[in-house]
Chains A and B, each alone.
Chain A
Amino acid sequence: MSKQAGRAGGASKRQAEDGDICPVCKSSRYLNSTMEFKINPACYHRMCDTCVERIFKKGNNMCPVAGCAKTLAYKGFRRATFEDLQVEREVDIRKRVMKVMNKKEDDFETLRDYNDYLEQVEEITWNLILNIDKDATERKLDRFEAVQKAEGNAGVSKREPTKSTARVALNKGIVPEALNNDDADTDFSFRGLKKRVAPPKEAPFDPWGGYNIAQQYYVLQDNYDVDWYARMKSDPAHLVGGHSMQEYCSRALREAFGGFGVFIEDEIAARDDPSMDAGVGTEHAAAAAVSGDNVNMDDVF
């Protein structure tokens, strides 16, 4: 972290100058206007893209900055978003922590619990940024990630108990291990976390909405021994996909007995005859005809 010194206020001018000269090959932007600086998040040392191509294109190599000696991969190089690389690093760390520690306020029972959780997140973040207890913190983060993964899988396995992958995850004992670690490392557990509830199982779809059509007067037979029926069965026009002879018979029979036991004389006389009212249409249409001129109803007298 040779650049850390650059954070001091007085050195800002120097850094600007510095920013135009590659620390590895010392070539200047003055000579090469298309020069671009890249960093690798493993060590955050700046170097120009020509150097990156030259040193790392052929495979992993050591960081050329004196005293660093970290092995860097070509894949990891990118342009820095922030000029201050310290900020760049902090943002990266926060991104990583937020990806793992992503509980929301809704996941907690009280606001207090959520705030305690945020406190822990912040602690982990700062430990990583300031390199305090780095190994322990990293381990904690990994463990938490594993627990969360197991939880997610548990939810899946509740919904689809036949899924073998979920079984495997459970059988491997990720959850118990995590719980054991929990016991050992008390500052890891979060208070007031709500229990995960699997969504209720959806009922199978019923296209009839609970209604059941029970024929009273007929039974649909598999075959009918009528000449036109036999003729239709061999007719290519009736053999195309989606056309069902059975369906035709079903419809015909339904029509044959639709209203078989409906006595209009009784039923219509019994009901309060709104249909005989000459004011055509529904009440809404009538109201619209009265209120607005643009509804052009031809009054039936």
Chain B
Amino acid sequence: MKLNEDDLYRSSTQFRNWSFTAAQLATQRRRINQQATERVKANVARIRAQRAEDAIARDSVGEGEKENGSGTSGANTPNAVAQSATEVDCLTAAEEMKIVDEFCERAVALGSHYSFPLNVVSTAIQFLRRFYLYNSPMTYHVNTILRTIMFMATKIELFSIHVSQYAQGAGRNVSTESILAPEYIIMQGLRYNLDIRHPFRAIKAGHMEMVEMVHGKYQGPANGMSAKEVQAKMLQLPTNVDAPAVRMPEKRVEERIHAAYATATHTLRTIAVLTDAYFLYTPSQIWLAAHLLADEPLTLFYLSCKLPPSSPHYAKLLGVLRSCASLISSHRLYTNTSLPKDERDKREAQHQTEVKRLVQKLKNCRDPEKVDLVKLNQAQKRDAVEGDALEESKAKRRKLAREGYEKEADAFWGPELGKGAAVGE
């Protein structure tokens, strides 16, 4: 049975579990947002009702304490006092999306703060996007999740750093527990699919082949042309789509290829990872789209070598590449580069205030049950401590079981040697 490159890609988890159509993505985000909203509202209402009950009970006892609801659980519900009467103002799907996008950008900053290599940061960003496809920022705050995801990405990309070291760099209030606590939640959210297919190595291969083409040593499929013909055609490529074809020296064309590669790589690293491109397109299409943005005639020529322009696939693929390219080029950071400075600054400031507002809004609509992930994580563990001590019957049962095991072990191996025995009594 024969397999080609596409079949190999189809077997990846990225294609099987993490590729979507645009419509599916939108539906999924809307649904998650809706469910999270319902949940947040229900949980907040429940907590408020309970607090009101407590207050009544306290009043009936006759304590002189003022009723203000900032009791023991006040720390768990941010701004509970301020909006105790009003309905919770939840984020919409679009706003959630904006927050996730913002934190993807902050992931880049976090990565450069730790000076992590590129692949760690890119993987972390993709993990974050995947995670928030099935979770809402209202349930798990993006900040906590991002910290942990970045740490997990270092492990997955074989750039190991110790948790304590990582926690030290993360800020004053960050403990190792708070970094490790959401790991299990995240792994579930990622469905244990840790392989991210990035287009970075792929674009290197494409660059490699183009250089071979211009040197006249290309051996791959070339639409029936010989290596020399490919070279000749390449030297005559127009610099622009509309510009006339002029023959250029080999050196110049090679420089042009290097330049296109540099631009495209930069686009991939800084912009493509921040978009939904990984969900909607394959890595092969992503790098070609970035290359298309960088140097269109060159990319089109390269494509025509790989696929004859007469084939129906060619037009379709080109359509896909153009839509991917427009997705990348419509990103704020991409459009910013072509704007004059003051215009750019103005837009950036506008964007920042918008983001600030959203983050503030998020603070007020978090799911009170999922605020303290460290505590949740501890509660899930085997010797969960509830209140002060373990449930008495459980503790007793465990102690008995432990003693039983020890006895069994002693019967077989003999009892443990005392410290005095080793010295010689």
Binding site for B on A (CB under 8 A): 210-219, 221, 224-226, 229, 249, 251-265, 267-269, 273, 275-276, 278, 280-281, 296-298, 300-301
Contact = CB atoms under 8 A, between A and B. Distances in A.
15 contacts: A213-B4, A225-B215, A254-B8, A255-B197, A255-B201, A255-B202, A256-B203, A257-B202, A258-B12, A259-B197, A265-B280, A276-B20, A276-B24, A276-B27, A301-B35
Contacts of A260: 5-6, 282, 284-285, 306, 317
Quick one: which of A217, A258, A261 has the most chain B CB within 10 A?
A258
Chief secondary structure at chain B's binding surface = helix
Contacts of A259: 5-6, 9-10, 15, 197, 282-285
Contact of B17 (A267, A275, A297): A275
Chief secondary structure at chain A's binding surface = loop
Given A268-B24, A275-B16, A261 B205 contact: no
A276 B1 contact: no
B205 A253 contact: yes
B310 to A, nearest CB: 16
A212 B2 contact: yes
B6 A280 contact: no
Interface residues on B, range: 35 or more
A171 to B, nearest CB: 47
A279 B3 CA distance: 32
Contact of A254 (B5, B15, B307): B5
Given A264-B20, A298-B185, A218 B221 contact: yes
Given A213-B3, A275-B16, A298 B284 contact: no
A214 B2 contact: yes
A280 to B, nearest CB: 6
A221 B15 contact: no
Contacts of A221: 212, 217, 219-220
Given A226-B211, A256-B205, A269 B217 contact: no
Interface in B174-216: 184-185, 188-189, 191, 197, 199, 201-209, 211-212, 215
A219 B227 CA distance: 13
Given A226-B208, A278-B31, A262 B10 contact: yes
B2 to A, nearest CB: 5
A230 to B, nearest CB: 11
Contacts of A269: 21, 23-24
Interface string B202-244: 1111111101100101011100000000000000000000000
Contact of A214 (B4, B16, B28, B197): B4
Nearest to A251: B201
Contact of A217 (B17, B215, B220, B282): B220
